[in-house]
A and B are shown apart, each in its own frame.
Chain A
Amino acid sequence: MKRRTVRKITNGLALCMSGLATAIGLFCLGAILWTLISRGVAGMSVALFTQNTPPPGGTGGIVNAIYGSVVMTLIGILIGAPIGMLAGTYLAEYGRTSRLSSVIRFVNDVLLSAPSIIVGLFIYELLVVRMGHFSALAGAVALAVIAIPVTVRTTEDMLNLVPQGMKDASTAMGAYPWRTITSIIYPAARSGIVTGLLLAVARISGETAPLLFTALNNQFWSTNLRAPMANLPVVIFQFALSPYKNWQQLAWSGALLVTLAILILSITARVVVSALNPGGDKQR
């Protein structure tokens, strides 16, 4: 066979494989979403949103878990976001190229991909052991620890997108850096920062591992932050692995709710980004 033909065939084969790989990736997403919808919709009912998690065999809903997830995610983001935003501000505006900043940036990147179960163990040692019991507060702090690196990263990236000219103009008018940052840079980067927050919420609202031994679970409605609190991920985990059909059904419905919420958050975040810089992908 001619060398040219071999090269052409290799080329064709390789490109087909690449298309096939993409098809596999898309198929996995499709398969997972399809399973969630087909199994989760069956359990959608009013009871799901009005009743607490039932005992085995009984009927009920997951309203206590939904409430717990929302509360812990909100507290987590309320603790994590300000810290993350301030740290991101330091990296983007004050630290910039200093040695300390590059160390912090590196550590933050490591934290960003650190296993979340490690965070759970950390908060267990830090809070649960000291307080003597599992609590919703410990769960929220664990989620905050996961949210911090995400917010640091997005805040820094978004602040760096603000044109230097705007910062210079503010400085030239005699503004101190804090004034420039709070009155010029934050408003200019607002939609970017909001995106970062949305992504952080999306990230922590599905986290299970850090909640397993911080917030634990609670079969009943509880608003006490110092006591264990039900939450969707842990309920899904326990119910899915149970032998009871009604628990498994609730797990699927919960899974569908969590995934829908997260996908909506992620898509909203992307829409905000493309509204921020139209005509460009978020990378470059």
Chain B
Amino acid sequence: MNTAAVAFDSRHAARQRLREALFRGATLIAALLVLTLLGGVAVSLLHGSWPAFSHFKLAFLTREIWNPVTDEYGALAPVYGTVVTSLLAMIIAIPISFGIAIFLTELAPSWLKRPVGVAIELLAAVPSIIFGIWGLFVLAPILQRHVQPWLIEWLGPLPVIGKLFQGPPFGIGILTASIVLAIMVLPFISAVMRDVFETVPDVLKESGYGLGATTWEVIWKVVVPYSRTGIVGGIMLGLGRALGETMAVTFVIGNAHRISPSLLAPGTTISASIANEFTEAVGDLYTSSLVALGSLLFLITFTVIAAARFMLLRLDRRALSSV
């Protein structure tokens, strides 16, 4: 009887160990799959873009031409459009996000904090295609009728910067895409900034107030320097979003493969080109060139996002150690 109990026990233990090994193995495999995903994306993009890169060599990066008829493709216009719309979007979005984050952490009375915070987070939940359709049917006509003529009339004749505001008011174009992008990345940047500002120890702020500083002085001279890395990380995260954003831009960019100095002119971005042309692309070289654009986008966003995450990583550690 005793031996039976021991035998049962060891069988029970063996079964437990087996299940443990299985469960642990399953979680490990799932975790490794996450790594594989990133690797798989990189490999499949490289594989798909190989024909284009081997055919055009480095000229792919430096030429503006995009001609499906003669099968000649260059990435310069979409890359230019991607970079310009994203940078312009950041110029618009950073101050507004900063203001929102300040409002949420330092100014808002506590009864207002939560509803306003949730509303901004809901803006982040709105899918990008909604921003696109709104941008095309609501924002673009408003800009075309009321804003762009004014810009052309008053800023157009100026030396140097005038070049940015010339040509007819199309409504859609680089500027409109940038504004829509800015609205889209607003909630992401302000959420990160808010979280970063909240890690500033109260003691530091109170010392500032104790010395007679105004609220703004405490924000600008205590809160901001303390959370500098996190702010930059949040901005880079927003930039990463803006660079890769597809649907919102596709609606309002105008999809013209050329580089024009005017911000009011239609242009294109990498993601908009892919979204617009991929299913219609005939011929291996055309498809491959679009995938090659995708690889460039992957490279650019990966760099920006990785840098952002790296900065926020350091922030997390510091936030943890200060608790």
Contacts and interface: CB of A to CB of B under 8 A. Distances in A.
A118 B297 contact: yes
Interface in B97-138: 97-100, 102-104, 107-108, 114, 116-123, 125-134, 136-138
A19 B103 CA distance: 6
Nearest to B190: A25
A94 B24 contact: yes
Interface stretch (B63-71, B154-162, B235-243): B235-243
A17 to B, nearest CB: 6
Contacts of A32: 123, 126, 130-131, 134
Given A25-B186, A111-B37, A208-B247, A18 B107 contact: yes
Interface string A102-114: 0110111111011
B198 to A, nearest CB: 7
Range of interface residues on B (Cβ < 8 Å): 35 or more
A103 B35 contact: yes
A259 B130 contact: yes
B129 A107 contact: no
B127 A15 contact: no
Interface stretch (A45-53, A55-63, A120-128): A120-128
Contact of B274 (A26, A121, A148, A177): A121
Interface stretch (A161-169, A189-197, A218-226, A262-270): A262-270
Range of interface residues on A (Cβ < 8 Å): 35 or more
Contacts of B99: 17-22
B127 A258 contact: yes
B291 A125 contact: yes
A202 B121 CA distance: 13
B129 A206 contact: yes
B127 A281 contact: no
Given A22-B99, A83-B33, A206 B114 contact: no
B134 A181 contact: no
B53 interface: no
B119 A118 contact: no
Interface in A79-96: 82-87, 89-91, 93-95
B146 interface: no
Given A111-B38, A284-B198, A252 B133 contact: yes
Contacts of B306: 106, 110
Would you call the interface of chain B mostly helix, strand, loop, or mixed?
Answer: helix
B246 A115 contact: yes
A28 B125 contact: no
Q: Which of A124, A148, A177 has the most CB of B within 10 A?
A: A124
Contact of A35 (B31, B98, B134): B134
Contact of B96 (A11, A21, A178): A21
Nearest to B115: A26
A117 B298 CA distance: 10
A32 B47 CA distance: 40
Contacts of A179: 16, 19
A196 B136 CA distance: 32
B291 A121 contact: yes
B48 A125 contact: yes
A275 interface: no
Contacts of B24: 94, 177-178
B275 A209 contact: yes
A7 interface: yes
A208 B276 CA distance: 12
B129 A237 contact: yes
Q: Which of A111, A121, A148, A149 has the most CB of B within 10 A?
A: A121
B157 to A, nearest CB: 29
Interface in B33-89: 33-35, 37-38, 40-41, 44-45, 47-48
B48 to A, nearest CB: 5
A173 interface: no
A177 to B, nearest CB: 6
A24 B103 CA distance: 12
Nearest to A233: B129
Nearest to A210: B246
A176 B120 CA distance: 43
Contacts of B138: 31, 35
29 contacts: A11-B217, A14-B216, A17-B95, A21-B97, A24-B96, A25-B123, A25-B187, A29-B120, A31-B134, A36-B134, A94-B24, A104-B32, A110-B306, A113-B241, A113-B301, A116-B244, A117-B271, A122-B45, A124-B278, A125-B47, A176-B16, A178-B23, A179-B19, A206-B130, A212-B279, A240-B132, A240-B137, A263-B122, A266-B125
CB-based closest 4 A-B pairs: A115-B244, A21-B99, A206-B127, A86-B30
Given A21-B97, A91-B31, 5 more contacts: A94-B27, A110-B309, A111-B38, A118-B244, A177-B20
